[in-house]
Amino acid sequence: MKKRVLITGAAGFIGSHLCDRFLAEGFHVIGMDNLLTGSLDNIAHLFPREDFDFYHHDVTKFVHVPGNIDYILHFASPASPIDYLEMPIQTLKVGALGTHNLLGMARAKGARMLVASTSEVYGDPLVHPQVEEYWGNVNPVGPRGVYDEAKRFLEAITMAYHTFHGVETRIVRIFNTYGPRMRVEDGRVLPAFFSQAIRGEGLTVFGDGTQTRSFCYVDDLVDGIYKLLMSDYSQPVNIGNPQEITMLEFASEILALVGNPKAHLVFRDLPVDDPKQRKPDITKARKILGWEPKYTRKEGLKKTYDYFKKVVKTD
């Protein structure tokens, strides 16, 4: 009998890549998504497979999957600023009610559950690079608070189920990730830069462009998640690429890669509560999981550009 894994947010960017990985590892994969921000295009290639099932379901409602479940990976959530500013209630509910429902299922079925947290739990950090012991600098009533606090609650209730009910849990804190299957109109910096450059528009740089991010290619992230799930470590672990870059430098790399002479830089005011720095300390991932990113940014951006060339409409 194949081991069975439930992946929520399966039609999303990261969720769909997780489905691919677990199928490659020999699991029977049950994907679940309400398609609020996910797309069936991301998993259309999986539907002919006998070892893949899909449930069109909202995890904030009661979740039922018949039969045994060995692992649950909770990746359902709006994840871009555009999404969670437009859907603040749904974002809070999937972090709170959705996590609660899935932890209940994990407890009932004796499954190990990994939850997707985020570097956003650190807010606009006063510690750099960010270590897992840092508690964060978050504005709970600011525009980003619905996502930040949903994920902080997700961590808290996950740890409560672990300590009080003995549920096997894992917590991954995901830093900026990129790769094929990102939504063009996602609102995050990489899809925005690529789509603007391909169309020959202005690349929107917020503030003076000195704020930093650290970009991890999706295959590296998925490998870290898989290793964390299979580990014995229940405290949060940062998974990301510690190669830090300013937004101005990043925009220049995209311009050089795309090579559209019409593309140029446009500067806009910095959004409210936008973090000035993002860089993971991945000491724990290296030591506990034996994991670190393998893809250089140059390699990852080339693969991602090949995808965006196909999906960005230039009419």
Phi-psi region of 278 (alpha: psi -120 to 50; beta: other; left: phi over 0): beta
- Please name every residue paired with 203 in a beta bridge, in sequence order, or none if there are none: 265
Decide if 4-177+218-239 and 178-213+243-279+295-308 have a common fold: no
pLDDT recorded at residue 253? 97
pTM over 0.75? The answer is yes
Q: Report the CATH superfamily, name and number, of domain 4-177+218-239.
A: NAD(P)-binding Rossmann-like Domain (3.40.50.720)
Active site residues: 147
Best CA proximity match to 109, nearest among 68, 163, 53, 162: 68
Average pLDDT estimate for 281-285: 98
Report pLDDT digits (tens) over 115-132: 999 999 999 899 999 999
Percent of the chain with pLDDT over 90: 91
Distance (Å, whole) CA 299 – CA 75: 26
Residue that the structure tokens 């311009």 belong to:
255
Q: Which positions ≥6 away from 258 have C-beta within 8 Å?
A: 194, 197, 198, 305
pLDDT recorded at residue 275? 78
Distance (Å, whole) CA 68 – CA 108: 10
pLDDT recorded at residue 267? 94
What confidence tier does 194 reach under pLDDT thresholds 50, 70, 90?
A: very high
Q: How far is CA 257 from CA 209, 267, 312, in A?
A: 19, 20, 15
pLDDT recorded at residue 81? 87
What confidence tier does 238 reach under pLDDT thresholds 50, 70, 90?
A: very high
Task: Quote the distance between the C-alpha of residue 83 and its chain's center.
Answer: 13
Residue 274, pLDDT > 80, answer no
Average pLDDT estimate for 184-201: 94
Residue 273, pLDDT > 80, answer no
Distance (Å, whole) CA 134 – CA 274: 18
Residue 254, pLDDT > 90, answer yes
Residue 315, pLDDT > 80, answer no
Give the helix/strand (H/E) hosting 213: strand 212-214
Best CA proximity match to 280, nearest among 169, 182, 156, 176: 176
Residue 111, pLDDT > 80, answer yes
Residue 223, pLDDT > 80, answer yes
Best CA proximity match to 218, nearest among 243, 241, 247: 241
CA 279, 282, 284, 285 torsion-angle sign: positive
pLDDT recorded at residue 272? 77
All structural domains of the chain with their residue ranges: 4-177+218-239, 178-213+243-279+295-308
Average pLDDT estimate for 133-141: 95
CATH class of 178-213+243-279+295-308: alpha beta
Asked if 205 and 315 count as a contact pair (C-beta separation under 8 A), the reply is no
Q: Retrieve residue 63's tokens.
A: 């979740």
Average pLDDT of the residues of the chain: 96
What confidence tier does 276 reach under pLDDT thresholds 50, 70, 90?
A: confident
> Order of strands across the sheet with 237-239?
52-56, 28-33, 4-8, 71-74, 112-118, 169-174, 237-239
Average pLDDT estimate for 147-163: 98
Asked if 54 and 43 count as a contact pair (C-beta separation under 8 A), the reply is yes
pLDDT recorded at residue 277? 85
Average pLDDT estimate for 86-101: 97
